[in-house]
Each structure stands twice: as C-alpha cells, then as structure tokens.
Structure 1
Amino acid sequence: MTALLEVENLHSYYGKSHILQGVSLSVKEGEVVTLLGRNGAGKSTTLKSIAGAVTPARGRVSLGGIDLAGQPAFRIAKAGVCLVPENRGIFSLLTVEENLAIACRKGAAWSMQDVYAIFPRLEERRRNGGGQLSGGEQQMLSIARALLTGPRLLMLDEPVEGLAPVIVDEIVAQIRKIAAAGVSILLVEQNLAVCTALANRHNIIELGRIAYQASGPDFIADSDARDQYLGVKA
C-alpha cells in the first residue's frame, strides 16, 4: 500500500507553548492508524494541524503527494481531509437529515443512502432534531456527515468517549465498514480495545513527539510499551 498521508517533522504552537515538537507519521491507502498518548501529549493538536484548524509553524503534511501544510482549512477539506472533532459539532436545531444535507457534495463518492445503510439509526431518526439524539447517535451523525464530504482521509477524535459499551460496539462495526469501503482513517482514542480491534498500525505521542510505532500484532504483544507510554496494563 502506498502512503496517502505523510506528516514529517510537524511543529505547532498555541501562543508560546510548543505543543508539537517534530511529529512524523503516515497513513497508507485503506489503512486504519491510531495516534495514542496521555492527556495533553498533543493528539488533538496533531489532527487539528493536519486539518488546518491549527497552522503548523513548520513541517510537511502531504495527501497523495500534495503539500497541504499551512493551507487554509477549506482547501485542506477540499483536498479530501475531514476531521470529526471530539465535540461532534452537529447542529442541534436542524434535523438529522438537514445536518446531513448541508454536507452533501456534488459528485462525492458517498450519498445519503450510503450513510443510511451504515447508520440505520440515523434513517430511523432522520426527522428528529440533532439535539434530541443520544450521545451515541450524535457521534454517528457527525461521522456520517463527514463521509458525505467524500473524504480520502477521515480523522476521528475520541469517537466512543463516554458511550455505553453496546453503542461502542455498534460504532466500531460502523468504522470497520467505512474502512472496508476504502476510506483511510487516523484515529485518536483512549479505549485500547477499540484501537486494537480496528487499527493496522499504532503511534504513541509523548511530549509532542512520536515515541513509539508498531504494527497491530506487535502492539498487542508489547505490554511493557503500553504500560510505559500509556500507563495501562491492557
């Protein structure tokens, strides 16, 4: 598989705070890759820097060989990068279908019926307001809306945080279907069971740098690394 996303030596700041200090990672075509780490390590900042919500001070971000670092967020989105943020960002006063309709792109690979096939709960609740949905349904809506933009790279920030186990299982199955359809995914998630169920490769960020990288099987077998970098005996 060829690399779709390549991030090299990425540095980003919040004011004078140097958050990312040389992050390098890649995501291949059709691959699911995690970005793990303790709170404050720089996970969300990495996603925002790739998406253009934070402008990197230096470094390279390329998608399919096209350099995107420093481009405005709308150009990066048009190139095929889509971030589903931790706060989900749905419009609570719009219906489910209205939330989806505003994301539809002419000629996009994904249609409304495609996302309803993966998220049947949303079709059942298509006339409900976004604010009437459960937390899990809101997360499904935010992912479905992202798909309608036709992303080549889908970035998910804590997609199952705070959700009941039965809903977590449902969302994991849905993410697996999205990946099987050929969408590359960069996943930030604290739930290691979710990460190991989905990902081909894992990256751990510590103090603004990638401190550890491993394949899925190697990561599962490496309990010492998980304990050292994540503070868990998973």
Structure 2
Amino acid sequence: MILTLTDVHGFYGKSHILQSININVAAGEVVTLLGRNGAGKTTTLKSIVGVVPAQRGKIMFEGEDITCIPTHKIAERGVCLVPEHRGIFKLLTVEENLTMSAKRDSAWKLDDIYRIFPRLKERRNNGGGHLSGGEQQMLAIGRALMTHPKILMLDEPVEGLAPVIVDEIVAQLKLINATGMTILLIEQNLEVCTQLADRHYIIEQGRVVHCASNQEFLNDDAVKDRYLGVNLAA
C-alpha cells in the first residue's frame, strides 16, 4: 500500500471530527471517499497532508510514518492535495501558474500538461482569473502534476461544472491514472466516482462505515440509499 491510515482521529478545536479513520490505498489505484456533507471527508485529506494533524493513530506513506511531520515535508515526499477552492494565482498566466510549481526532477513537463489539457495550451497566456471554472480546475490539477506527486488527492474537482466539462475532466483523470498515478478523490457526483474508481470508502460521522470495490458498490442499492440517500439506478 502506498498510503495507509490506521485509527486516525482529528479535531477542529474541541470538535472531534475524525473518529478512527482506517483507509488503505494501493499504488496506481483510484479510490473515492464518499459521504454526506460534514462526514469528515475533507478533514481526512487535510489530516493526510498535516493541515489538521492527527491527534491519534498513524498515517503511513510509502512505508514511512508521516503522522507528525510538517506539511511541507509531506508535500516533498509526493503527497499533493488539490483543494476544493483550487487556489490558483489569478493574476498570473496559465503558463506562469504551471511553471512556478515545477520541480526539476518531475516526470511531468509542460508539454505533458498541455497534451492532457489542450484547453490550457490554448489559454496559456491568459490570466488565471480569466478562466472558466472548469479551466481553473484543469489548471489546478495540471499545476499539481508539475510538483511531481506520487499521490494526487482531489477535493470535489467537478463540483458546479457543466456536464460537458465534467466529462472532459473525467477523461483527463483517466489519462492521468493510466500513467500509474494514484488518485484519492472526494466527489459528490456518484456517476463520476463509478466511472473512475477501483474502490470506494463511505465515511459517516468521522468513521469509515463501508468499503467496497466499484462493482460491489454499483450493485448495492441498499448501501447507496442508506449512507448517501441516492440510487444510481434511479
């Protein structure tokens, strides 16, 4: 396993948000974290990168304990989080956003990003603030790849985007995963999740309450209804 969380507990102030999270992610997998709003999904990703330090439990990455090391050291090891707000620099051009984050030893070069995201090549001289929401999301993912990640963690990458753009980003994530990139994904759009993922974890009230392969999840309407309040077949 490239990433393992064992009995991880996390707090916001005195609020006990993560209450024994257990997750395993194998190299090259796409794994989703599912659950209702406020279940603890985003906090789980933040705990992995050290923004919300785990108060109990252990987080292992590539066999190394990263539970208590600083966020920048976790990032140096190849753990990359693309947050929900994307965090691009709106006054910089697309190309400046990409090149400023590039690592010298990264397997991902500018041409690779433009090949996967042709829209970014077309708009490489545009300011980040002039991009559509979908283009900003593509830029955020492309910029993350330039940092030479070993695992890419995405927090709701297609939220609020038009269906045609959602389809485009799904296709791009498939291309990225096909290079061997491990992806840990939070997403409310279950159709997107089932198109991309090998496995799914469902989190409820800070605990993992269900884990299943993609096919098992697709076939289990009772679980989807119980924990997510939806039915993909509906």
Q: Structures share a fold, TM > 0.5?
A: yes
**Equivalent residue, structure 2, for 1:223:** 221
Shift of 1:52: 1.3
Select which of 28, 49, 62 maps to 1:64: 62
Select which of 46, 49, 65 maps to 1:48: 46
TM-score (norm 1): 0.98
Residues 138-187 of structure 1: per-residue CA shift (max 9 Å, x gap)? 00000000000111110000000000000000000000011000110000
Map 1:1-234 → 2, pairs under 5 A = 3-234=1-232
Residue segments in structure 1 that go unaligned for 5+ positions in a row: none
Residues in 2 aligned to 1:59 and 1:117: alpha-carbon distance in whole angstroms:
40
Letter in 2 for 1:105: K
Shift of 1:70: 1.8
* Secondary structure of the structure 2 residue equivalent to 1:213: strand
Residues in 2 aligned to 1:118 and 1:232: alpha-carbon distance in whole angstroms:
32
* Secondary structure of the structure 1 residue equivalent to 2:87: coil
| Identity score, percent | 61
Letter in 2 for 1:117: R
Instruction: Give the total of aligned pairs.
Output: 232
Residues in 1 aligned to 2:73 and 2:215: alpha-carbon distance in whole angstroms:
36
TM-score (norm 2): 0.98
Shift of 1:56: 1.0
Letter in 2 for 1:51: V
Residues in 2 aligned to 1:218 and 1:70: alpha-carbon distance in whole angstroms:
35
Letter in 2 for 1:14: Y
* Secondary structure of the structure 1 residue equivalent to 2:192: helix
Relative to structure 2, which stretch is displaced further, 40-49 or 63-72?
A: 63-72
Letter in 1 for 2:134: G
Residues in 1 aligned to 2:52 and 2:181: alpha-carbon distance in whole angstroms:
23
* Secondary structure of the structure 2 residue equivalent to 1:35: strand
Residue segments in structure 2 that go unaligned for 5+ positions in a row: none
Residues 56-108 of structure 1: per-residue CA shift (max 9 Å, x gap)? 10111111101111211100000110000000000000000010011100111
Residues in 1 aligned to 2:178 and 2:47: alpha-carbon distance in whole angstroms:
26
Residues 31-78 of structure 1: per-residue CA shift (max 9 Å, x gap)? 000000000000000000001111110111111101111211100000
Residues in 1 aligned to 2:112 and 2:60: alpha-carbon distance in whole angstroms:
28
